[in-house]
Homo-oligomer: A and B are copies of this chain.
Amino acid sequence: MESHQVNQDLIKERGRCTFNVKELTHVLDGGEHITTKRKQYEDLVFSIKELKDEIPEEYLSHKDRYENAVRKATILKNISIKYLKENTEDSTYGYVSRTVYGIIKDVSPFLLHSGMFVPTIAGQSTPEQKEEWLEKAMSMEIIGTYAQTELGHGSNLRGLETTATYDNNTEEFILHSPSLTAYKWWPGGLGSTVNHCIVVAQVIINDKSHGVYPFIVQIRDLQTHMPLPGVKVGEIGPKMGFQTANNGFLGFDNFRIPRKNMLMKNAQVLKDGTFVKGINEKLAYGTMVLVRVNIVWDCFVHTALASTIAIRYSAVRHQSRIRAKEPEVQIMDYVTQQDKLFIVIASSHAFNNMHTKLWKGYSKVMEELTQGNQDNLSELHATSCCLKATCTRDAALLVEQCRLACGGHGFMISSHLPILYGVTTAAVTYEGEQTVLYLQTARYLMKAWAAALQGKVLSPTVAYLTDWLSKTCQKWHNTPEGIAAGFRHVAAGKIKAAFDAIQKHTKAGHDPEVAWNMASIQLVKASEAHSRALLSEVTWSETLRKASTVSPNLGQVLKQLAQLYLVYWTLNISGDLLVYSNISKDNLAILRERYEDLLAIIRPNAIGLVDAFDFRDEILSSTLGAYDGRVYERLMVEALKSPLNREPVNASFHKYLKPFMEKAKL
């Protein structure tokens, strides 16, 4: 770096900000004391020089890159395990998890250890099992992953082929992969890293299948790391992202484990082979819901990262002129650029708000469950399904929009945007594929609609169906509340349409199951509309709540962002609103202008808004997004790290190019 001055445009932008950036940072962190703790933790992590790569890992071979990731992951874990023991507040997850983006950009091989292995032991074990494994897992005396998905089976859990056959002579389960498609495939860390895993397998006792249950299985020797006899394990190869996640495959050849390795908090297999069904199989939903709630948090972080990079770059980059006789302008002054980017900031806040609400809902339902009350579990499950589906796809599209808005330079890995896209888009598929999740929510919505028709009282998130039945012809209002109401009308209209479509197909003689498939495009759209109704209502109400507790200037900015979000989506689904609500063309024309007005209002605060996300340069890990805006110097510095640039002439010239050119002369 030639100098450490901050780019002049950024200095100017920071001077224009109308609100207190630090105050917003505290709001997003959840309080000033958490900001302080976060920064202390970041100081701790980023003071370690060994976590910084001399040569960016993208230049390395697949194998070297993995080894380097293991090296860094162990250093990082040494810090975070200790820290998490001493800091057990809920808020810790957020800031501990976000440091990793700057260190192991393309996913740690330990991701599923902390994300699934430990929570599954914690959530599905008996007290004795916890005693045996939980502490070891948490301290990483053993390293594990969660092996459920198989080469031939993902979405359909019941179709898993791996068997766990009980042998009551030896009191063991025999794990077996009866075919190639039965191989476990995908678990992070499984390739070469873990020595244990949770294996989900079909329990078979006396030739009778009892369904799929989780087992804890040691797969490698703790001293030598050799795969145990009967275990075939390896890595699955390169992917679109997650290059250092070390995803693996796993097959069993009549591999025996003790009976007590079945996680028996719910269902149990007794010594004599008696199968005891779990009293409440639904309790296992808890972990699944928690993972999806956390994914909505990730959507917040990913869009916050991407918008920080793209907005700072857009303030620094000058290109072309608005007035022919004036100098080239900051590209953020183009209204089309504002159109691409400000919605990303607004969406990031919407995801944050939605996460707050979901987290509260999750905590409440978990609390109720401990008291034996399951009344709100299916609603929570349905809500988390469609919101996971919508937020991940929105986040992926928005991250990609940021990348595209940075022109060619957004295509550079050193911008961090391509890796961020890989990580974000993966979430559309993992932990419940988008369409599959929408259809799960749709089941809940169809039941809710049937109940509404029968005049039953509905759960809060679908109560709008009853309202809609009683007064379909509501006047449209161009206010945030009016827009949120309009979105509920769209959702209700689409839920009804999907319901009617099923009825129609059934009446035409199709089985209900076939009719469901025939109506599934509409069912998916109904679920999506339901999630948009939830997002718009929640982001507005959460914004109002927040705004009432902060300085007036900041409150106003938060409301502007939420309004932008609502108006953007109104214009985006105008076709649905014109069909299912009473919005008029004139309303739309007014909102189109309001949208442009909001872009102009937000413009001077754009840099302040992304500064408030408060990502350190080490976390952003981006040539385009650093705090000082020295974009071009950084691009060149990173390029010069290429091993190809270490030598003036690459060996391929003498080996291939020269003989080739000489042949051409003949």
In whole angstroms, how far apart are the Cα atoms of A513 and B325 in the complex?
10
Chain B residue contacts of A585, Cβ below 8 A: 579
Question: Contact partner of A58 among B62, B151, B574, CB < 8 A?
Answer: B62
In whole angstroms, how far apart are the Cα atoms of A527 and B322 in the complex?
19
Stretch at the interface among A140-148, A206-214, A471-479, A558-566: A140-148
CB-CB contacts below 8 Å: A385-416 with B: 400, 403-404, 407-408, 410-414
Question: Contact partner of A78 among B320, B404, B663, CB < 8 A?
Answer: B663
Residue of B nearest to A81 (CB): B664
Question: A661 and B141: CB pair below 8 A?
Answer: yes
Question: B71 and A656: CB pair below 8 A?
Answer: yes
Question: A632 and B573: CB pair below 8 A?
Answer: no
Chain B residue contacts of A53, Cβ below 8 A: none
Question: A660 and B74: CB pair below 8 A?
Answer: yes
| A62 and B235 in contact, given A225-B653, A319-B155, A336-B524 (Cβ under 8 angstroms) | no
CB-CB contacts below 8 Å: A290-324 with B: 318-324
Indicate if A457 sits at the interface (CB-CB under 8 A): no
Indicate if A47 sits at the interface (CB-CB under 8 A): no
Question: B657 and A335: CB pair below 8 A?
Answer: no
Indicate if A64 sits at the interface (CB-CB under 8 A): yes
Question: A429 and B404: CB pair below 8 A?
Answer: yes
Question: B225 and A517: CB pair below 8 A?
Answer: no
CB-CB contacts below 8 Å: A624-665 with B: 632-633, 635-636, 638-645, 648-661, 663-665
Chain B residue contacts of A372, Cβ below 8 A: none
| A413 and B664 in contact, given A61-B61, A156-B319, A656-B74 (Cβ under 8 angstroms) | no
Question: A335 and B517: CB pair below 8 A?
Answer: yes
Chain B residue contacts of A66, Cβ below 8 A: 644, 650, 652
Stretch at the interface among A238-246, A253-261, A352-360, A459-467: A238-246
Question: B151 and A648: CB pair below 8 A?
Answer: no
In whole angstroms, how far apart are the Cα atoms of A435 and B340 in the complex?
10
Residue of B nearest to A404 (CB): B428
| A180 and B61 in contact, given A78-B663, A240-B413, A578-B578 (Cβ under 8 angstroms) | no
Chain B residue contacts of A660, Cβ below 8 A: 74, 77-78, 140
Question: A657 and B412: CB pair below 8 A?
Answer: no
Indicate if A4 sits at the interface (CB-CB under 8 A): no
Residue of B nearest to A514 (CB): B322
Question: B588 and A651: CB pair below 8 A?
Answer: no
Residue of B nearest to A430 (CB): B408
Question: Smallest CB–CB gap between A408 and chain B, Å?
Answer: 6
Indicate if A123 sits at the interface (CB-CB under 8 A): no
Question: Contact partner of A159 among B319, B518, B649, CB < 8 A?
Answer: B319
Question: Contact partner of A61 among B70, B318, B633, B643, CB < 8 A?
Answer: B643
Chain A to chain B contacts (Cβ below 8 Å), 18 pairs: A62-B642, A67-B656, A78-B660, A152-B632, A156-B328, A183-B636, A192-B644, A226-B649, A238-B413, A240-B413, A240-B417, A336-B520, A336-B521, A404-B429, A407-B433, A518-B596, A575-B575, A575-B576
Q: Which 6 A-B pairs have the closest CB atoms?
A: A574-B575, A575-B575, A240-B418, A70-B652, A74-B660, A61-B61
Q: A66-B650, A71-B655, A407-B433 are in contact. List 10 more A-B contacts (CB 8 A).
A: A59-B61, A61-B643, A180-B632, A185-B408, A192-B653, A225-B657, A227-B648, A240-B421, A322-B513, A323-B511
